[in-house]
Every structure is written in C-alpha cells, then in structure tokens.
Amino acid sequence: MPDISEALGQERELALIYIAQKVSEAEAVQELLEQEGIEYFTCLEEYSFWGALSAVFQSANYCGIGFYVLSGQTEWSQRLLRDHAFVKGLVG
C-alpha cells in the first residue's frame, strides 16, 4: 500500500471515498487503486445499513475498511471505482 504518512504529517486534507464491507472487496479496491497509482490510506470505519426491513427494525451498525485519498484525487478516484462497478461502498 502506498504510504501517505507524509501527507498526514503535513496535515494535508484527506477524503473518505469508499467503505468496503468485506476483506475480498477491500483487496480488490486496493489492487485497483494501486494499478492506477493512487495513493491511499485505510482504516476501520463504522457505517450504518438501512435494509428493506428498516421500517420494522432499527438500522444496524457495522465496521468496514475505509479508503481515504488526498482530497485533490477524490473525484477521479470515485469515478474510477464507479467505472469498475464498486458502487455499493462509495461515499459522497
């Protein structure tokens, strides 16, 4: 995984672009971002799921793998993910 710790040290703005629900999904997103040379940072992110039964039951909270990129790469990165059918976990 590319190291953007320098960006964090310089307090550059990061944007959350995707939350993967499964490890296999995260690995596929990671591979795509690396193939395109996009620097990213991952960390665990909590997300809520409102399923078809949300009118009857409360939403459920889960933990997924969040993908962050430098804010200047947000739009391009999201378009890339969308073009490769990674739409379920897109943020924003």
Domain holding 75: CATH number?
3.30.70
**Domain of 62, in residue numbers:** 5-51+58-83
Helix H or strand E encompassing 63? strand 60-70
User: Considering its fold, how many domains does the chain have in total?
Assistant: 1
pLDDT at position 92 is: 82
> Taking a C-beta distance cutoff of 8 angstroms, is the pair 68, 42 a contact?
yes
User: Which two tokens mark 84?
Assistant: 């490769």
* Confidence at residue 48, expressed as pLDDT on a 0 to 100 scale: 81
Residue 17 near residue 76, CB atoms below 8 Å: no
The per-residue pLDDT string of the chain (92 residues; one tens digit each, 9 = 90 and over) reads 455 555 555 667 899 999 999 999 999 999 999 999 999 999 999 888 766 655 566 667 889 999 999 999 999 999 999 999 999 999 98
pLDDT of residue 5: 55
Q: Which residue has the tokens 């997300």?
A: 47
Residue 62, pLDDT score: 86
Residue 90 lies in a domain: no
Beta bridge partners of 44: 65
Q: 68 near 40, Cβ under 8 Å? A: yes
pLDDT value at residue 36: 96
* Predicted TM-score of the model (pTM): 0.80
Look up residue 84 and give its amino acid.
H
Contact 18, 90 (CB under 8 A): yes
Residue 30 lies in a domain: yes
